[in-house]
A and B are shown apart, each in its own frame.
Chain A
Amino acid sequence: MIERQLTLIMENKPGALARVVGLFHQRGYNIDSLHVDPIEDFTRYKFIEDELNIKFASHEVSRLIIKTTVEDSLMRQILRQINKLIEVIAVSDDESTYLKGILRDENLL
């Protein structure tokens, strides 16, 4: 078991964070640390806009950074469960990225 860092991009809406935190508890995963902030400058994540063909305004989406300690085999399952949340736009760990409806095998976030 090693500590992993996940990055999520999700809609900045009331209740959205609770869904992510709730999912970790519900599925039996532990959160070691959690950081959330609304994204002001989206330049770094422009590939998401390009890939999904949408344009984000400042503070419209948030970035979550979550550290968790899990077995390797569980990591993909966590990513896929998070990706299933309706308000999540993208989620990535050290190896793979999941954009809405698209599964990729490279770290983009």
Chain B
Amino acid sequence: MKKIPLILLSLIMIPAVQADELPDTQTELVSVPKLASQTYLKPRPLNAIPDGEFGDKVRKGYELFVNTQQLRGKYVGNELNCSNCHMDAGRKANASPLWAAYFAYPAYRKKNDKVNSFEERIQGCFTYSMNGKAPASGSAELVALSAYSYWLGMGGVMDMAKLDSPVPAISDALLLQGGKLADFPIPEKVKSMMTIDELAKLPGKGFPLVPKPPLAYSPVRGEKVYQAHCQSCHGADGLGYETAGVYSLPPLWGPDSFNWGAGMHRVNTAASFIYENMPFGKSIQLTAQEAWDVAAYVNSHERPQDPRYKGDVSKLMTKYHKHQGYYGQAVDGSPILGSHSYAINPKGE
């Protein structure tokens, strides 16, 4: 019998926190500063996805990732698609690429002594970023999204190791765990090139850390930045633009954007994303100060409620919002943010 990986064992042995408590799967990723000399993993082109059962899962994952709206009302409760923030369908370095995230899970977190699998991380995206409902563990959607992420990551590291064979198909159960397992099937040539820990920290993971701003960030200054650089795509009201039912220019706040539990509501996370990835198709066009300020402006508007809300904004704020964000605060004379939030998963079944 195969040895059960230690990390899996701990998964089995630690009971779920409390059944009624949503897991905090959108905790801050550790961002590292960008290095000029960095080279990044290059995922294989999408036409290299193999035929057959495994390839079908990978393709399905791509399709769900780019057109997440096909799950609207079922698992998605806003107008976003995964690819709105994960540029180039999760393939672009420094825009939280799937290939880097895949090898970083399961991730053990000291803070609450819990291990998050890759599947749980994606479930968190549905609960928070997509303001919807997480697909059940092991569901076809989670398998597909995991398969796509695995294929991008494994194909990329195999190419780095000069292995041009197809990415090996693995079981659904393994796909859902993520690549940071002691005995995850990794080709020998890749293993001799990189350790599991190195794989979990591939350059280009997450968003690179935006430099600290000279002044404390300010939504008031941010409004000016927004008007000058963001509004033509995202609208003066932040609600984005739609054509043929698709918000290709996504809403940044309001009822159809990510909710108060999503990682992007944190000013520092949004600032890092914006600094590196906006305006679209360009990079590092704003000063660090402008990126922080505009992130503060975007995130000082009302959006759908934090799904962990149980009727008391200030309690939730104390418990989950001790970070750089505006939940539970009044900004510029506005009502307390969180007190007039929009519905969670409004069209949910």
Does chain A bind chain B?
no
